[in-house]
């Protein structure tokens, strides 16, 4: 199909910040969320940048024939060569991704997953980030994650939603952060104890058992050789020992960023099913190549990658190195659901999204919609 027009406009994201939306041929619209028109690290007048990009993209892509994913990657390469910077300073990652999303809709007639995977036999399972603890320290907070033991996305999504709606009863609060996690100053162990009681009750009603995950946010809690969680401080060996106690006591199957990069060689001492990296990888392929041997799971945030080509290279690397992929949730989201199509098309193992906010709910419902067509 031929590109006849490319229009860039400004819409608001879930944080009421300006972000970009791209429309191809006056019909196929897409956005990737995130803040800013271009890369958020550079200062550029949005209106001037928007006018410039509209002119460049319409002139450069007019009458370009796009029929498959390979053609989209060719356009990406063309624009990357024009930009000539890793940070995408001229074009911007939000612009490039939104353009590629719209192109996927163009060639698939609004069924993007079908271009990537016409007959999916695997769907991501739902990890629900639901509670943040030690919130009085704000940037040092940890995150507790619900993991239903199901083989079907929709079953896990339903079970997580059921538990989530009852969390205010055990936490005695309705306050949430931007990601939809309930906020508490309680310690990890106290929250896990209450959550275990709640999920046991839900298991009796629904017949679905639960495990838990814990995001330690180690980059923020580690300083001068010491891990600080709440009001307690631990050496690395003490920290590992405490984590293993929690793993055994509460059936914790997933640990995210449990150790600082300075202690990364000690990851093997942690006794859980999934050791997941987020900040250590930072959506950078070179970091994946450097640190992959210490993990069997990785967070991938599509909007931080800046292009579908980068996404493909990272997911291919993970598959070839037996690393489970987790589609991570981002701040400043929009109602765009194509990310869910990509989760199916690129065969992500998990999607980590809270069941909160219309922007996230729409993505979770889209995966359920696709799954229902094939199962």
How much is the pLDDT for 99?
96
The sheet carrying 28-30 orders its strands as 6-12, 18-24, 28-30
Residue 86 pLDDT level (bands cut at 50, 70, 90)? confident
* Helix residue spans in 207-301 (DSSP H): 218-221, 236-250, 285-291
Residue 135 pLDDT level (bands cut at 50, 70, 90)? confident
Q: pTM for the complete prediction?
A: 0.94
Homologous superfamily of the 125-374 domain (CATH): Enolase-like C-terminal domain (3.20.20.120)
Q: Say which residues have a Cβ less than 8 Å from residue 371's Cβ, sequence separation at least 6.
A: 123, 152, 153, 154, 344
For residues 74-84, give the mean pLDDT: 93
How much is the pLDDT for 35?
66
Q: Per residue in 341-358, pLDDT tens?
A: 999 999 999 999 999 999
**Domain range list for the chain:** 6-109, 125-374
The DSSP string of 99-126 is: HHHHHHHHHHTS-THHHH-SS----PEE
How much is the pLDDT for 90?
84
Q: Is the pLDDT of residue 136 over 80?
A: no
- The CATH class given to the 6-109 domain equals alpha beta
Residue 231 pLDDT level (bands cut at 50, 70, 90)? confident
Q: Is the pLDDT of residue 48 over 70?
A: no
Q: Per residue in 246-281, pLDDT tens?
A: 999 999 999 999 999 999 999 999 999 999 999 999
User: From the centroid of its chain, how far is CA 202?
Assistant: 26
For residues 362-371, give the mean pLDDT: 96
Query: Integer distance in angstroms from the first to the last C-alpha of the chain?
Result: 31
Q: Is the pLDDT of residue 160 over 90?
A: yes
Q: Is the pLDDT of residue 46 over 90?
A: no
């Amino acid at each position: 199909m031929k590109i006849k027009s490319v229009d860039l406009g400004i819409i608001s994201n879930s944080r009421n910040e300006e972000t970009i939306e791209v429309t191809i041929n006056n019909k196929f619209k897409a956005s990737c969320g995130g803040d800013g028109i271009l890369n958020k690290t550079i200062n550029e007048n949005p209106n001037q940048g928007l006018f410039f990009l509209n002119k460049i993209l319409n002139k450069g892509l007019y009458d370009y024939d796009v029929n498959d994913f390979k053609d989209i990657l060719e356009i990406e390469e063309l624009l990357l060569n024009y930009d000539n910077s890793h940070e995408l300073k001229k074009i911007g990652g939000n612009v490039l991704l939104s353009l590629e999303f719209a192109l996927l809709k163009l060639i698939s007639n609004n069924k993007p997953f079908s271009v990537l995977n016409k007959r999916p036999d695997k769907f991501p399972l739902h990890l629900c980030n639901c509670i943040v603890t030690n919130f009085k320290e704000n940037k040092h907070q940890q995150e507790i994650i619900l993991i239903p033991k199901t083989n079907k996305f929709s079953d896990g999504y339903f079970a997580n939603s059921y538990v989530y709606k009852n969390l205010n009863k055990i936490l005695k609060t309705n306050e949430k952060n931007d990601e939809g996690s309930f906020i508490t100053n309680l310690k990890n162990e106290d929250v896990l104890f209450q959550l275990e009681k709640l999920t046991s009750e839900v298991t009796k009603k629904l017949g679905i058992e639960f495990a838990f995950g814990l995001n330690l946010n180690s980059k923020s809690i580690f300083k001068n050789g010491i891990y600080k969680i709440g009001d307690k401080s631990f050496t690395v060996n003490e920290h590992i020992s405490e984590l293993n106690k929690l793993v055994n006591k509460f059936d914790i199957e997933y640990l995210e960023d449990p150790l600082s990069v300075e202690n990364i060689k000690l990851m093997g001492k942690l006794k859980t099913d999934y050791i997941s990296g987020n900040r250590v990888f930072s959506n950078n392929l070179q970091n994946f190549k450097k640190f992959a041997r210490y993990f069997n799971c990785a967070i991938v945030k599509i909007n931080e990658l800046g292009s579908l080509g980068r996404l493909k290279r990272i997911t291919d690397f993970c598959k070839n190195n037996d690393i489970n992929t987790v589609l991570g949730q981002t701040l400043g989201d929009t109602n765009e659901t194509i990310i869910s199509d990509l989760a199916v098309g690129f065969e992500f193992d998990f999607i980590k999204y809270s069941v909160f906010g219309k922007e996230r709910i729409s993505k979770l419902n889209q995966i359920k919609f696709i799954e229902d067509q094939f199962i």
